[in-house]
Structure 1
Amino acid sequence: MADLRDILEPRVGGGSLLPGAVALVARGGEVEVAAVGAAEAGGNTPMARDSIFRVASLTKPVTAAAVMLLVEDGRLGLASPVREWLPELSAPVVVRTPASAVDDVVPAARPITVEDLLDFRAGYGFPSDFTLPAVAPLFGELRQGPPQPQRVAEPDAWMKALSRIPLLHQPGEAWLYNTCSDILGVLIARVSGQSLPEFLAERIFAPLGMTDTGFAVPPADLGRFTGHYRADPGAGGLTPVDLPGGQWSRMPAFPSGAGGLVSTADDLYAFGRMLLADGAAPDGIRLLSPASVREMTTDRLTPEQRAAGSLFLEGQGWGFGGSVDVAPVDPWNVPGRYGWVGGTGTAAHVVPATGTVSVLLTQLELTGPTPPPLMRAFWTYAGGDRV
């Protein structure tokens, strides 16, 4: 019978481009962890259970949970227009058709709400067609795409740039990827009166014991920080994207609610365990209400919206900040599974029906939205397949 190490080792090191990986699967009180390979390509430091990774879009569910804390505090409502706190979005305009020029616009039919941002249907973000004119400013002016924390403007300047970019769809009409989580990060800071790192540290990371999660790695912990790489046949297989002393070694001007966090397998397990416990922290103190967890982990999309977002979703639905499996179309699909993947080669999910938390952390940047073979094999294993 295969174990977790058997899933990882054939796909790490040797002839593989992947320098190392850490994986965790928890079912009830049983936790299985495997750390294989090296922390850096060509290095001698072995991967360890507490190695720190850039987790990219695994930041999104955390950001969504933070918004739900503010909803529970009574400081936000899901139906609240965000213009009170984000005046840059007080009069949004929409391109006449998705393929229209950025100056061919009409007024938004209604205000953007908190819920629109949480379920990625505000009108901002990536469609399946990246060549549309209104998509280009997201990459150019907002630095959307692979995380680059030291190259993004501070929040007020970023929002000013956003205000000049038209929506691709009317609010509520279409699911679009990524940008809404960055807007939510600014919203959290403005509503709470704290920076996003301060709010997350106080309200989520400290209660859950997520001691290695944040937007930068302290100097004392850089020895546990892994390298991050991109497949590059022309450079002998791998080219470094970021190394331990790089962009995450100091706090960024723009803490990205879409993809800025670093974390460890056990910290992400703590967050997943909270979701499975209907919002309770390990000490029994309630972080979120069961109703808020249900809001986060329930699919919000229509079949048409799921189909239009298939480049990213592969038929999955979307809750608040993460995908929700709606049909067992692959061996690893489990209806109700909630979580997401990160473009730095990471994945974390919970399955409420089976009480499972799964976390996979690697250092190799994904080449596109389609999960690589290791990720699929890991999900199949986490779903119960021991072949």
Structure 2
Amino acid sequence: MTAQTAAKTTAAPQSPPLPRGKPESLGLSPAGLQRLSDALKREVDKGTMPGATIMVARRGEIGWFDAVGRQSPASPGPMTEDSIFRIFSMTKPIVSVGIMMLLEEGHFLLNEPVAKFIPEFASQKVGVENNGKLELVPVERPMTIQDLLRHTSGVTYDHTGNSLVQQLYRESRLRSRKISNAEHAALVASLPLICQPSAEWNYSRSTDILGRIIEVVAGKSLGAFLTERILAPLQMAETAFFTGEVNAGRLAEPFPIDPWNGEKVVLFNMLEKPAMESGGGGLVSTTMDYARFCQMLLNGGTLDGTRIIGRKTLELMASDHLAPGVKIQGTLVPPGHGFGLGFAVRTQPGIASFPGSVGQFFWSGMAGTFFWIDPKEELFCVFMSQAPGQREYTRTLVRNLVYAAVE
């Protein structure tokens, strides 16, 4: 019986906490961190989010960990440090580390074609719009594993635009949690690319395809691989593609109608085991679990004496991989930033509208979660909430207030 199956009937052991220190001993202002919590409480009071958790760690110790508001708008219970969240695209960095672990074992090279592992991609075409019609043209060069990692594959998401290719995505079964990773990859391969590989940065289902490559190479399900190679070694005991009924009272939930955009919020059921283990957005986790992953990244690939990935491999992942001239579509990669192998990367001290350090890397989740790693300041931050509509505002708010507290 797998750990994920066992979670249905017995409570999983909670992850061991990271050490805690006094903010002032870590070069953090207690008053500044209190202002951070106060600002989040104001958002809760204004009704923009049900609740949230915030963790700031520096120099290997937690300097601030707070839970504000309610865990769910449907119940009076408070948000807690061990509430469980859908982390959506914060799954991507974990899967990206997983694929790079296989690279370190010599199973493939970054510039090898995806079709070597998933043959359906060998015949994929590029969709070019011409007078309102979609013309299919050959690829100029095959999509590579590196393209998947940096989102220059030509694969897309249906919710990031309304092109003819994205309309085909919407008409397909790609959003179904009832298809397997293999079926999902074959379905993506049957649809046209939105652009030539390497021509543009398009946020996409690329990491879902990486999850399928992991399955092909490792010979086991994505969930089994992640548990065996990353989650169990890091003692991330409560991170999986679903959680057990025993944890039903710990699930963070959103407002049914988003207070910022008035749209109905429909998120997946965390208690339901999906057929598709989405490498791009399927994991659920806790703040402490994800903090253990972040501390490993900040440590250069190790935690508590366990090495997950090589220091130089992680350095490659946290470097900008977008060549000059690559057009960045959308707003997810902010000005002054590029994109590496699974993370956005800050490349300039200015340009962006929020503070940070060159070399900082990060990503976020659609439901409102995000994290960042700042090697220069020996700092990481994890924010968890289930509040989709205001996620971009909250990311900037939290960044501003965390860096204001750095002394």
Residues 241-320 of structure 1 mapped to structure 2, 5 A cutoff: 241-242=266-267, 247-282=269-304, 284-305=305-326, 308-315=328-335, 316-320=337-341
**How far apart are residue 310 of structure 1 and its match?**
4.3
Residues 32-111 of structure 1 mapped to structure 2, 5 A cutoff: 32-96=64-128, 101-102=133-134, 104-111=135-142
State the one-letter code of the partner of 2:122.
S
Which runs of 5 or more residues in structure 1 are unaligned?
145-149
Between the aligned partners of 1:92 and 1:111, the Cα distance in structure 2 is 9
Of 176, 192, 202, which aligns to 2:218?
A: 192
Between the aligned partners of 1:310 and 1:326, the Cα distance in structure 2 is 18
Between the aligned partners of 1:99 and 1:142, the Cα distance in structure 2 is 27
Task: For residue 193 of structure 2, give the secondary structure of its aligned residue in structure 1.
Answer: coil
Of 138, 142, 146, which aligns to 1:115?
A: 146
Which stretch of structure 1 is more off in the superposition, 68-77 or 320-329? 320-329
Question: Is the contact made by 1:127 and 1:309 (CA closer than 8 Å) also made in structure 2?
Answer: no
User: Identity over aligned residues, as a percent?
Assistant: 30
Question: Is the contact made by 1:17 and 1:231 (CA closer than 8 Å) also made in structure 2?
Answer: no
Task: For residue 270 of structure 1, give the secondary structure of its aligned residue in structure 2.
Answer: helix
* Match in the other structure for 1:330: 353
Residues 305-384 of structure 1 mapped to structure 2, 5 A cutoff: 305=326, 308-315=328-335, 316-327=337-348, 328=350, 329-366=352-389, 371-372=392-393, 374-384=394-404
Which runs of 5 or more residues in structure 2 are unaligned?
1-30
Change (3 A) 1:44 1:67: same
Between the aligned partners of 1:110 and 1:297, the Cα distance in structure 2 is 25
* Match in the other structure for 1:147: none
State the one-letter code of the partner of 1:19.
P
Task: Please provide the CA RMSD for this pair.
Answer: 2.5
Between the aligned partners of 1:99 and 1:186, the Cα distance in structure 2 is 36
Question: Is the contact made by 2:258 and 2:387 (CA closer than 8 Å) also made in structure 1?
Answer: no
Between the aligned partners of 2:382 and 2:389, the Cα distance in structure 1 is 16
Change (3 A) 1:240 1:82: closer
Which stretch of structure 1 is more off in the superposition, 221-230 or 34-43? 221-230
Post-superposition Cα deviations, 1:60-109, rounded to whole Å, max 9, x if no partner, equal 1111001001101111221222212201101221124588744x112112
**How far apart are residue 384 of structure 1 and its match?**
3.8
| 2:209 is the counterpart of 1:209 | no
